[in-house]
Structure 1
Amino acid sequence: MAREKKTKLGVWVILGLLFFSLVGFGTTSLSGRTTTLATVGDKEITLNQYALELRRGIDTFSGQIGQPLSFTQAQSLGIDQQVLNDMINMRLFENEATNMGVSIGDQRLRDRVTSNPNFQGFSGTFDREAYRDVLSRMGTRESDYEQSLRDEMAATALQIGLTAGYTVPAGYIDALVTYAAERRDITWVQVTNAALTDAIPAPTEEDLAAYHEGHPADFTTLETKSIVYAALTPDMLLPTIEVDEAALRDLYAQRTADYNSPERRLVERLGFADEASAQAAMDAITAGETDFDQLVEDRGLTLDDVDLGDVDQVQLAEAGAAVFAAASGDVVGPLPSLIGPSLFRINAVLEAESIPFEVAADELRAELGRDRARRVIGDAAEQMADLIAGGARVEDLADQTQMELGSIDWTVASTDGMAAYPEFRQAAAAAPIGAYPELIEMSDGGIFALRVETIQEPALQPLEDVLEDVTAAWTRDTTQAAILAKAEEMATALSNGSQFGEFGLAPTIDVDVTRQTFLDYTPEGYMTRVFETEAGNGFALPYDGGAVLARVDAVNAPNLEDPDVIALRDRFAAQLSNGVAQDAMQITLNTLRGETDINVVREAVNAVHAQIQ
């Protein structure tokens, strides 16, 4: 598919009208000497064209992200480079079209000009005076505009010819469809240590020594930093903060919705096109001919589609009184709703909740106390920073301020105490031995400073120190290896015609699984192995301390008449054809770039950027 040209002169006209008075670009306003920003063979890019297209690119991206984008931000995203690159690519095709003698007839050019709404008068038809006026305001002569438009149309025709008509061999597409849509019927089961006939023997000293030596990473200590710190958190100050009752009652009043909620219902709603359809459905439920779940399924919906969650009576409007008069499990209706006559099922009754001020007071007191403690810490932080700047140690901070002294043997696995704070973990990881303390703020408004006293490098722990862990790990791995060996024996037997029942196993049967199907309680790579295995064969994979045993019962080729498979085939064909066309486009562009003189006047580019900023 041909790539749409981004630097269309019709867009220049629109943007010229919108931005001419703001941007202030005339024929020589940027450089005072030249209007050329770049030449591509015999074609050129003018300063005005680049300026307007760059502005358009920035505005387009701003619209996509929903907020204005500054020029500096646009540059950091490479928008300016992309705009100039796209314009150069278009000029390459325009230049090549001229070299090849590709041309657009006068009538097509006339039709293009006269159909442009920017050149129409009040009557809605082409107006030559409007045409001249617009081009004049853009600083463009009619002959230049028409030649540029002719070049653009010829280049577009060349691009269409280059990318149209590519097809991918049907056999290749069929192979992809077969791969993607092929299905398997499988029978599988988890195998545990219950399948073992012999108990796992106790490990010998030689077994444990060999395991310890063969798995050093499992028994090596983490790097440990002995850290001394001074910290002050809102919770540390909380016992010293006094909060008056008036402030608590004001906050309680502000949070009344949090502490006093009306009676609510967990409700599902199924809408109908008209009252008669809704009543017929309700009559069928009353007669026991169907139920709410079946009605939802018959409509091709799920319970998630009809779930309203927990609602109060006001939210249900006219249906509220009837729904709230019903008991949990009832279906009521038809009742009016925003989606038309509906049936409502009540799944639970949530009683009204009212938490009095006296009960909520402690929680509110802690909240206000922490807020005030954060302000106290913020006010004191400057004094603490001054102490550090004056050479104070961590211990001095604890002596001279409200900060508390503490210590921790920290590793990357530490999460308790001060290590619960991500800011502390980050600082601890980065700090070398004896580094000058730095005051660091935490997410809860607290502050700390730390010093690393010593660093204990990772080391393999002696076997006698980790004997219990080594024994447990050896037993675990040896047991899994035995289970997997047993499962592989069973897989061989299954491949030779045995049945799962002969092993005393109760398997699960899944039919028509695809490569994208995910089955719970199966290991990573399981579905890949399923599709690598021929029908009638079994296999085993390790999983969760045991193994999974499976047999592929059938290989089901895709139904080529299935609408989903047809749609998949069409999608593959379109994607592959488009991919080939885009490859051809890129190869052509690379060739043209190598054969064409491209000169960019960097001073002119910088001048445009300076004006836009």
Structure 2
Amino acid sequence: MAKGGKAGQLFVWVLMALLIIGLSGFGVSNFGGNVRNIGSVSGEDISTTEYFRALRSDLNALSAQTGKPLSFNEAAAFGFDGAVRQRLVTQGVLDAEAKRIGISAGDQRLATEIRLTPSFAGANGQFDRGAYSGMLRDNGWSEAEFEGRMRRDLARGLLQTAVVAGMPGSDVAASTFLDYIEERRSFSLLRLSAENLPAPVATPDAAAVKAWYDAHPAEFTKPETRRITYITLMTDDVARTTEVDEAELRRLYEQRLSDYVQPERRLVERLIYPDQAAAEAAKARLDAGSVTFDDLVTERGLTLNDIDLGDLSRDDLGEAAEGVFALTAPGVAGPLPTPLGPALFRMNAVLAAEEVTFEQAKADLVSEFAQDAARRAIATRVNELEDILAGGVTLEDAAKEAGMTLGSMQLTADSDEGLAAYPAFRAKALEAGERDFAHGFLLEDGSLVALRLDGIDAPALQPLDAVSEQAKAAAFAAAEREALAARAAELQKAITEGADPASLGVVEVHSDMPRGGRVDGAPASLLADVFALQAEGDLTTVSAGDFTAVLRLDTIRKADHDSEEARLLVSTVSSQIGQDMGQDAFALLAAALETGADISLDQAAIEAVHAQMR
């Protein structure tokens, strides 16, 4: 029952967060006539008010995800209103099932959940009756209505907990997962380059170049090209003529003081362990010299990028600060406490406190201030340019009248230099039509631009004379790849017959590599090739792009199932599998209940709510 209580409490807190954040400032008005419900599910009504609130909450959440306010019509284009109705229907069938089998939440449980809801706490952190009443009143809820909704949510949470908690995990699946992620492989790599060929690859003759050109026309076809004329007023140009006020610069310096005055910091990496014992055991091995810190990282199935925290101050490190800052030279501290568990910290460098004075920062501040002033000044010129263009003048004349710079360019889908580096310019240029009127618009840095499409040149195969050097280089590269692949096959055969790989070239040895490991200068798929080999001693040739190598699998190190870390991982994964299976079972239960439920929806009532949302 404790599990159920925690699940229900979490469910309610999530619900309240959505309601209070999503509905803040919104009441619910009349939808016209006597329309009170958009439908019913097995006798459980879905009210217009409930539907309106759910739509508003989801719309606010969707707007937050996209980073811009969305209208109802914009969101509805993605089907969000249908998703809301589906959720309410699912809740309805679960409410009906909970009622049928007699699951309910009593007054004491309800009161406890309300008192524990953070949104209803006062200044002292305890439940505040006035805050509770005021919050509900401000968001259009009566206490009876809200508490009735909470009872249904709690009962539904109990039903979900009963299904989810009843699913056992799978130690077999978890052990298989452990085998997969903890297996390590050591291998030898004999890379091949042109120096490994018995003879240099001959420069392709004219016939070979022509054959390559004829066989690969796509490489030599000039893409569709748009001829663009444009006028610009760039922020950099305006900034160069902007006067800068010393007092404004000093205010800007004070606002940005944290950028210029830095406390003492440390470059650190953090390796977290599941418990204190595991962390202490790892540190003991490290102190004894039996492993390196990098070895410990690899054992955890991580990379250095995964554990890198960058440069941190004392405040950033929290409880671990004293231990890390006690190191005056690079080293490892710990185990130290963190919010995620005990951890070892490798300190790689001491960064002294820094202070950039106003005078030292002045040049950067002048640039920043001038750029900001330029953006504001240019923003006031948009309407002026629009008025000029509305008069039907050409861009050439508009440039003279508005004091802007005239230019032209040939733009393809791959262009990324100059103005084409601005996404806003590229988007406008690629969607422009030859009959479109020019309009002024702002680029990402605040520059003002208008453009005209003068014409579109269709894709065209360039003549061989114009691309002969490109074709010659491509033909040569292809011939060299073929020669290297053939040489790799010869070397692989020789090694199979007993030749020492070291006698055939420089051999790299990579030890205890995980599946997600990387080898410098090798394709990302190399480790997949390593783990595809079946037995120690197996050979294969790897050829991808400019990389060619003979690969030999030297050793396979299986996962250690007897370690404390392994047992903890298996237990955790098994538990997670059980939870996932429980969630799937609950989803199947909801779908089955919905199939047999009596569901009716009133489209006219739904449209009435939508009209209110618009």
TM over 0.5: yes
Partner of 1:251: 249
Q: Distance in 2 between matches of 1:461 and 1:387?
A: 41
Letter in 2 for 1:205: A
Per-residue Cα deviation, 1:544-582 (whole angstroms, up to 9, x for no partner):
624132211122332221333333433443343334333
Q: Does 1:509 align with 2:497?
A: no
State the 1:458 CA deviation.
1.9
Partner of 1:529: 529
2:227 and 2:454 in contact (8 A); partners too: yes
Per-residue Cα deviation, 1:473-498 (whole angstroms, up to 9, x for no partner):
22222212222322233233334443
Partner of 2:550: 549
Q: Distance in 1 between matches of 2:174 and 2:267?
A: 45
Partner of 2:228: 227
Distance 1:180 1:431, change over 3 A: same
Q: Distance in 2 between matches of 1:353 and 1:460?
A: 57
Q: Does 1:183 align with 2:184?
A: yes
Distance 1:219 1:345, change over 3 A: closer
Q: Does 1:470 align with 2:471?
A: yes
Q: Distance in 2 between matches of 1:364 and 1:306?
A: 26
Per-residue Cα deviation, 1:226-279 (whole angstroms, up to 9, x for no partner):
33333233444567x4738xx346536754888997898666799xxxxxxxxx
Q: Distance in 2 between matches of 1:165 and 1:377?
A: 65
State the 1:434 CA deviation.
5.3
Partner of 1:113: 107
Partner of 1:479: 480
State the 1:92 CA deviation.
2.8
- Alignment of structure 1 residues 368-407 onto 2, 5 Å: 374=375, 377-407=378-408
Distance 1:530 1:432, change over 3 A: same
- Alignment of structure 1 residues 30-179 onto 2, 5 Å: 38-41=39-42, 43-45=43-45, 47=47, 50=50, 54=54, 85-93=86-94, 95-96=96-97, 103-104=101-102, 112-117=106-111, 163=164, 165-167=166-168, 171-179=172-180
Q: Distance in 1 between matches of 2:485 and 2:496?
A: 16
Which stretches in structure 1 are left out of the alignment for 5+ residues?
A: 125-136, 271-288, 312-317, 332-343
2:267 and 2:351 in contact (8 A); partners too: no
Q: Distance in 1 between matches of 2:386 and 2:266?
A: 57
1:223 and 1:455 in contact (8 A); partners too: yes
Q: Distance in 1 between matches of 2:39 and 2:144?
A: 18
1:47 and 1:608 in contact (8 A); partners too: no
Distance 1:537 1:6, change over 3 A: closer
Q: Distance in 1 between matches of 2:57 and 2:351?
A: 53
Distance 1:151 1:406, change over 3 A: closer
Partner of 1:593: 594
Letter in 1 for 2:194: N
Q: Distance in 2 between matches of 1:252 and 1:218?
A: 56
Q: Distance in 2 between matches of 1:507 and 1:545?
A: 18
Distance 1:495 1:509, change over 3 A: farther
Q: Distance in 2 between matches of 1:575 and 1:118?
A: 29
Q: State the SS of the aligned residue for 2:528.
A: helix
1:228 and 1:452 in contact (8 A); partners too: yes
Q: Distance in 2 between matches of 1:182 and 1:70?
A: 48
* Residues 77-86 or 434-443, more deviating: 77-86
Letter in 2 for 1:385: E
Partner of 1:520: 520
1:483 and 1:546 in contact (8 A); partners too: no
1:184 and 1:531 in contact (8 A); partners too: yes
Per-residue Cα deviation, 1:340-396 (whole angstroms, up to 9, x for no partner):
xxxx99857688766859x957x7776666566556544544343222112101121
Per-residue Cα deviation, 1:159-213 (whole angstroms, up to 9, x for no partner):
5665554447665554444333333222224222221121111212221111112
- Alignment of structure 1 residues 182-581 onto 2, 5 Å: 182-237=183-238, 241=241, 243=243, 247-248=245-246, 251=249, 255=253, 308=312, 347=350, 374=375, 377-433=378-434, 435-511=436-512, 513-535=513-535, 536-543=537-544, 545-581=546-582
Q: State the SS of the aligned residue for 2:200.
A: coil
Letter in 2 for 1:203: P
Q: Distance in 1 between matches of 2:261 and 2:159?
A: 69
1:262 and 1:351 in contact (8 A); partners too: yes
2:263 and 2:313 in contact (8 A); partners too: no
1:189 and 1:505 in contact (8 A); partners too: yes
Letter in 1 for 2:491: M
Distance 1:45 1:152, change over 3 A: farther
Letter in 2 for 1:518: R
Q: Distance in 1 between matches of 2:161 and 2:372?
A: 66
1:268 and 1:309 in contact (8 A); partners too: no
Letter in 1 for 2:249: L
Per-residue Cα deviation, 1:3-53 (whole angstroms, up to 9, x for no partner):
969998xx99xx99xx9xx9689xxx9888687664333x32364994798
Which stretches in structure 2 are left out of the alignment for 5+ residues?
A: 116-126, 128-141, 270-286, 316-321, 332-346
* Residues 173-182 or 381-390, more deviating: 173-182
Q: State the SS of the aligned residue for 2:507.
A: coil
2:382 and 2:441 in contact (8 A); partners too: no
Q: Distance in 1 between matches of 2:265 and 2:524?
A: 38
1:193 and 1:546 in contact (8 A); partners too: no
Q: Distance in 2 between matches of 1:588 and 1:391?
A: 66
2:204 and 2:472 in contact (8 A); partners too: yes
Distance 1:267 1:388, change over 3 A: closer
State the 1:533 CA deviation.
0.6
* Residues 426-435 or 70-79, more deviating: 70-79
Per-residue Cα deviation, 1:492-516 (whole angstroms, up to 9, x for no partner):
33344433212132322312x2222
Distance 1:354 1:230, change over 3 A: same
Q: Distance in 2 between matches of 1:248 and 1:173?
A: 65
State the 1:439 CA deviation.
2.0
Per-residue Cα deviation, 1:420-441 (whole angstroms, up to 9, x for no partner):
4443333322223354322222
1:6 and 1:86 in contact (8 A); partners too: no
Q: Distance in 2 between matches of 1:150 and 1:352?
A: 59
Partner of 1:131: none
Could you say which structure has the larger radius of gyration?
1
Q: Distance in 1 between matches of 2:112 and 2:352?
A: 63
Q: Distance in 2 between matches of 1:451 and 1:563?
A: 69
Q: Distance in 1 between matches of 2:158 and 2:518?
A: 48
2:165 and 2:579 in contact (8 A); partners too: no
Taking only aligned residues, the RMSD between alpha carbons, in angstroms, comes to 5.8
% identical equivalent positions: 23
Q: Distance in 1 between matches of 2:451 and 2:113?
A: 72
Q: Distance in 2 between matches of 1:473 and 1:119?
A: 71
Q: State the SS of the aligned residue for 1:507.
A: strand
Letter in 2 for 1:494: I
Q: Distance in 1 between matches of 2:581 and 2:417?
A: 57
Aligned length: 530
2:267 and 2:311 in contact (8 A); partners too: yes
Per-residue Cα deviation, 1:70-90 (whole angstroms, up to 9, x for no partner):
995997698876665445334
1:222 and 1:458 in contact (8 A); partners too: yes
2:224 and 2:457 in contact (8 A); partners too: yes
Q: State the SS of the aligned residue for 1:438.
A: coil
Distance 1:423 1:608, change over 3 A: closer
